[in-house]
Amino acid sequence: MRPVTSAHAASPAHAAQPLLVIDIGNTSTVLGLTDGCRALVDTWRVRTNRDLLPDDLARQVRSLFAMSGRELPAQAVLSSVAPPVGENYVQALERRFGMRTFSVSSAALPQVSVELDDPAGVGADRLCNLFGAQPYLERENAEYAVVVDFGTSTNFDVIGRGHRFLGGILATGAQVSADALFARAAKLPRIALQAPPRTIGKNTVQALQAGLVFGYAEMVDGLLRRTRAELDAPAITIATGGFASVLQGICTEVDFYDEGLTLRGLIELWEQRERGQGQP
């Protein structure tokens, strides 16, 4: 992997309104606030809780902003793969704070060509990654990009120039794999998901770390090699999500590491939509 890098332009030509961005995953929800230059000035990470109702979420958002001494902005863009949490945030933001909101879906993004059997079924987070990959496609002058997103599941999102979502791979997340193993093997200790000093473990912890971390890295490299072999032009690859930092320097098929790709994709998506609607 090359060192931490970001291909995203820091600011649009015009001053913009501050924007609340929310990426609702199956385990975590990440909220971010941008300034008038579309740069993230604050981020918050909370557990995704399907039991919270609109007013619970309104209280959560209000207290996060109060904690950081921030003003609530007038507009928000949301990506959710955990219904009904996305809808509940929309209700909270619109009814309690009068915010203008936009929810990511393939139907709401006509400029994106989702080349799947069922375009409506694609996860909103994967559409965010498509937008997050755009600056890389341009900067590297590449035909394809593969985003590997390490969350509850590990997604490989195959993206083509011109906002094409070509498909991908969904694999069991690293933590889910580890938890499944610990749940079924009474004598195994819980371990930190970090690389051991060598592949041949000298104790139970090292042996588990080799299986989980190196095993996972080999899966990622192998799937990226297979993906690249199926494409008719070279692809750049970008890893994101918490576990990506653990695999940095281990995966040989990953070109870039970018922790903020999904959230900045959400900002980029909003920005392009605003430009498309002719609203500065």
Ligand X SMILES: CC(C)(CO)[C@@H](O)C(=O)NCCC(=O)O
Q: Does 86 bind K ion (CB under 5 A)?
A: no
Q: Which amino acid is at 105?
A: S
Binding mask 147-186 for ligand ATP (x = CB under 6 A): ---xxx--------------------xxx-----------
Write the DSSP assignment of 233-254 as a string of letters: S-EEEEEESTTHHHHTTT-SS-
Q: Is 242 annotated as a binding residue?
A: no
Q: Does 123 bind ligand ATP (CB under 6 A)?
A: no
- β-sheet bridge partners, residue 111: none
Return the residue matching tokens 């042996």.
Answer: 207
Q: Active site residue: 42, 55, 117, 125, which one?
A: 125
- Per rule CB under 6 A, count of chain residues that contact ligand ATP: 17
131 vs 222: CA distance, rounded Å = 25
227 vs 72: CA distance, rounded Å = 42
154 neighbors 171 (Cβ within 8 angstroms):
yes
Q: Is 124 annotated as a binding residue?
A: yes
Q: Which residues contact 123 (CB under 8 A, 6 or more apart)?
A: 81, 155
* Residue 125 known to be catalytic: yes
- Judged by CB under 5 A, which stretch of 151-159, 190-198, 226-234, 271-279 contacts K ion? 151-159
Q: Does 151 bind K ion (CB under 5 A)?
A: yes
Subset of residues 238 to 267 that bind ligand ATP, contact rule: CB under 6 A: 241-243, 245-246
What's the closest the beta carbon of residue 105 comes to ligand X, in angstroms?
11
Q: How does 59-98 read in b/e, with b if 16+ C-beta sit within 10 Å? A: ebbeebbeeeeeebbebbbbbbbbeebbebbbbbbeebbe
Binding mask 54-73 for ligand ATP (x = CB under 6 A): --------------------
Q: Is 255 annotated as a binding residue?
A: no
Binding mask 26-45 for ligand ATP (x = CB under 6 A): xxx-----------------
Binding mask 64-83 for ligand X (x = CB under 6 A): -----------------x--
What's the closest the beta carbon of residue 127 comes to ligand X, in angstroms?
9
Token pair listed for 178: 């580890």
70 neighbors 45 (Cβ within 8 angstroms):
no
Residue with Cβ nearer K ion (25 or 73): 25
- Per rule CB under 6 A, count of chain residues that contact ligand X: 12
Residue with Cβ nearer K ion (48 or 209): 48
Residue from 24, 149, 147, 28 nearest 81 by CA: 24
226 vs 220: CA distance, rounded Å = 10
DSSP state letter for 131: H
- The single residue among 7, 16, 25, 195 that binds K ion, judged by CB under 5 A, is 25
Name the residues that contact ligand X, by CB under 6 A. 25-26, 81, 121-123, 125-126, 151, 153, 155, 170
Write out the binding residues for ATP: 23-30, 152
Binding-site positions for K(+): 149
List, by residue number, the catalytic residues.
125
